[in-house]
Amino acid sequence: MKNIVIFGAPGSGKGTQSDLLVKKYGLRHISTGDVLRAEIKNGTQLGQTAKAYIDKGQLIPDALMIDILAATYDALCPCEGVIFDGFPRTIPQAEALKQMLAERGTEVSVMLELQVPDDMLITRLVERGKVSGRADDNEETIKARLQVYHNQTSPLAQWYEQEGKRVAVKGYGDIADINAELCKAIDNV
């Protein structure tokens, strides 16, 4: 059973690389951003709550996000393993994930960090915004999201380092080359 946390700033390529890893390893993919966008599209109460945060580039509160993650996980598993994409984003979320998986007799196998400089992230996200239709892919919200990433999410790199689970990879250049680095890390687990 391989549970992988794919980690990095908005626009670092987590979604693209997750799709490739899902195909290769037969894993389930949980993107919390996708889960929230589906709730918004379906006009649910949860979607309405989430939209207020997403449109400002802010994080959904931990307690709510942790419940959503557990419900999503339990709907998909038992399974061969999961790629967690966009979760955790805070240290309390990482602690909750650790506990949730332990209660289900498993754990995070590896955390894969995609490292991309901010100026490149901004260029990528502005380009994505032209086709994604995502309300949060505009320059003002992109800058807020990057700030949130640096303040609230990037300390998780150290957290997973201390857990002995972190592998950092250069997240720019050829997509296939990046993927090969990630696969090497997974196969080493």
Name residues whose C-beta falls within 8 Å of residue 66's C-beta, 6 or more positions apart in sequence.
Answer: 92, 93, 96, 100
| 165 catalytic residue (yes or no) | no
Nearer to ligand AMP, 87 or 160 (CB): 87
Catalytic option among 37, 89, 165, 166: 89
Answer yes or no: are the C-beta atoms of 168 and 115 closer than 8 Å: yes
| 145 catalytic residue (yes or no) | yes
Catalytic option among 56, 98, 104, 128: 128
Nearer to ligand AMP, 60 or 121 (CB): 60
* Identity at 175, one-letter amino acid code: I
Nearest-10 crossing angle of helices 91-103, 62-76: 30
Q: Nearest to ligand AMP by Cβ — which residue?
A: 33
| 128 catalytic residue (yes or no) | yes
Least CB distance to ligand AMP at residue 187 (A) = 26
Catalytic option among 2, 145, 165, 166: 145
| 14 catalytic residue (yes or no) | yes
Q: Which helix (H) or strand (E) holds 146?
A: helix 139-148
In this structure, the dihedral spanned by the alpha carbons of residues 70, 72, 74 and 80, taken in order and rounded to 10 degrees, is -110
Judged by the rule CB under 6 A, the positions of this chain that interact with ligand AMP are 10, 32-33, 36, 53-54, 57-60, 65, 86-87, 89, 93, 136, 145
Task: List, by residue number, the catalytic residues.
Answer: 14, 89, 128, 134, 145
